[in-house]
Amino acid sequence: MPHVDVPGARLFYETAGHASGEPLLLLHAGIATGRMWDPLIETLAAEHYVLRYDCRGFGRTDCEASGFSNRDDARAILDHLGIARATFVGASLGGRIALDVAVETPDRVAGLVTIGSGPGGFPEVELTDQEEALCSELDRAWEDRDFGRMVDLETRLWAIGPLRSEEDLNPEFVRFAYELGRANLHHRPGVEAAADELEPPAYDRVVDLDIPALVTVGEFDITPALVQFEYLAATIPGACRHVFPNTAHLPSVEHPDQFLALLSPWLAEHGL
């Protein structure tokens, strides 16, 4: 399996498409792995050089419990493949990484797409009663060291959404969403918490971005993601915005055709 060796880790990555195509770097959500992009790869690779990798603490990446920078890891993938600049497409955690890289090293980011993401340093947002109840269950699972239940509860909170029922959703999506979360169970919980935070945070700096940006969110995502979406859409200069109906935190997984119908024309419009 292809890996990039960096201090304290071996980053698993995959590529698709011809290396002469415009590069896209896909960054996964914190309830998933790089496999969340599976439904999009064939279509995107027809016109682009598509890169994806598993962040530390996720999927098939091996790592030590030590300090690190997600920003450096993303740039290491680009450097390894000889890519100076790419369009970053990031879901949740992946979008936060993309925002950090864009404000810290804008020369590496040609365009930016976020899905249910927010910038580092964003103020705390009050949860609804339903969200609080699910988060309390998550806290109890953590205290009990019941990591399997914790991962499933995270999927329930984010991918299903507190206002939706699994029984009303496509069973293949539900199965895949839980599969994506459980793929991280072999990692030591909390590795992602050791990541070095950007200072000053992106929250205060996204207003200075000067690249094409597409900011998206699912209609049934949780309150913090919805609030952060509104902030990014209003603050990033010239940002396009879109709310995907009938989905929560993983619209590109739940409704890949709808996601591609938005993403592909936007990339073409901006020559990305």
Provide φ and ψ at 86, rounded to 5°.
Answer: -140, 160
pLDDT of residue 187: 83
208: its two tokens: 């200075």
pLDDT of residue 189: 65
262: its two tokens: 């938005």
Domain at 3-125+188-269: CATH code:
3.40.50.1820
Q: Which residues of the chain have pLDDT under 50?
A: none
pLDDT of residue 64: 82
pLDDT of residue 2: 93
Which residues does 253 contact at the CB level (< 8 Å), separation at least 6?
Answer: 32, 36, 39, 159, 173, 176, 177, 180
Q: Model's pTM, two decimal places?
A: 0.96
User: For the chain, what percent of residues have pLDDT higher than 70?
Assistant: 98
pLDDT of residue 186: 86
**Domain ranges, ordered by start, for the chain:** 3-125+188-269, 129-182
List, for residues 84-108, the tens digit of each pLDDT value.
Answer: 999 999 999 999 999 999 999 999 9
40 and 66 Cβ atoms separated by less than 8 Å:
no
User: 55-70: b or e for each residue (b if 16 or more CB lie within 10 Å)?
Assistant: bbbbbbbebeeeebbb
